[in-house]
Every structure is written in C-alpha cells, then in structure tokens.
Amino acid sequence: MLTQERAEKLSEILNADPEQAKALLALEPAEALSQINALGNDFTLEEVNEFGKALKAQGELDDDALDDVSGGIAPLIAGAIVAGCSLISFNLSRNAPW
C-alpha cells in the first residue's frame, strides 16, 4: 500500500527531472519501477501502480470522486500530488501505461 510518505518520495523523484519523468511515465510500470529503483529506491510494483492510478484520477476526477479511487488510497496520494507534484503540467496522456 502506498503511504503518504512514499507518495511524496515518488513525487520528489519524478519532479527532480521532468524529462526523466516523462520517459518513465511512458514505460510499462514494471520497467519504470526497475529504473526508479536503480536510482537507489525500493518502491514496489503495487506502489507504482497506485501512484499511476492517482495521477490519472487527478486529471479525470474532481476532489470528491478521488475518495473512491484505489480503495481509498487516492486522498493520500492526491495530497502528495497537490503538495508539489507538477507532473500534471506535463499534460500527461491518459493512455500512459501507469
């Protein structure tokens, strides 16, 4: 399960290098996970998938609907996104693998 702390860490990683973030988001989740963890992290595939679902939901749903996404984890992730995740400004494709 993706915690607030882990969501914030993943946001920081992706925000540190916008070009790398775009490239990672274009990959399948398992491949993106491998590259993220190669940087010295220890995220799980479940965490990456939950984070990706929250990013997509952020672009598709209003704040009230976010409560129902990913079994209730979305409010935690949405908090991390709102707290500084500029990935939405990348105009992410809704067809991104994660």
The predicted-structure confidence for 10-57, as pLDDT tens digits, reads as follows: 999 988 998 998 899 889 999 999 999 999 999 999 999 999 888 887
- pTM of this structure: 0.64
In a domain, 96, yes or no: no
Number of structural domains the chain divides into: 1
Rounded to whole angstroms, the Cα distance separating 38 from 62 reads 34
In a domain, 98, yes or no: no
List the domain range (segments joined by +) for residue 11: 4-90
In a domain, 64, yes or no: yes
Statement: residue 78 has pLDDT above 60: no
| Structure token pair of residue 89 | 């400004």
In a domain, 59, yes or no: yes
Statement: residue 67 has pLDDT above 90: no
In a domain, 58, yes or no: yes
In a domain, 16, yes or no: yes
**CA quadruple 47, 81, 61, 72: dihedral sign:** positive
pLDDT > 70: percent of the chain: 59
Mean pLDDT of 78-91: 46
